[in-house]
Amino acid sequence: MSLRKSPTRTPALLASNRRNAQKSTGPRTARGKAWSRLNRFRHGMRSPQYVSFFMALYNAPLGEVSTTVRALLSPMPVIPSTFLETARDAMQADIEICRERVWTLRKREQK
């Protein structure tokens, strides 16, 4: 139970609220609109865009992950940090796998 008395909604208060609401129209520039669309990515590892991005990286041919990353991220006006971190990790894993395969092939050739 609140001890604070609720404010009386006078016509002046309602009119003031309506005027303030008219000022709040959201982002107006293309960059601002693009940025606000990405709000859902704040915790968006379950978002359809992230899942399709991740699956494209997962299915990319070995040695072609960086090319895939560039192709997927270049049309995006603002790139969420989640995408950048995933792309960085995928490219690093691709490099390590390629190095390991080269090492294994050289090892076999030496035998």
Q: Kindly report the length of the chain.
A: 111
Q: Given phi > 0 = left and psi -120 to 50 = alpha, else beta, which region is 26?
A: left
What is residue 7's predicted lDDT score, i.e. its pLDDT?
Answer: 74
The 10s digit of each residue's pLDDT in 69-85 is 999 999 888 888 888 99
CB 85 within 8 A of CB 59: no
pLDDT digits (tens, 9 = 90+) for 42-51: 556 777 888 8
Mean pLDDT over each residue of the chain, to the nearest integer = 85
Tokens of residue 30, six digits: 């293309």
Residue 62 near residue 97 (C-beta atoms within 8 A): yes
Task: Give this prediction's pTM.
Answer: 0.55
86: which 2 tokens?
């995933």
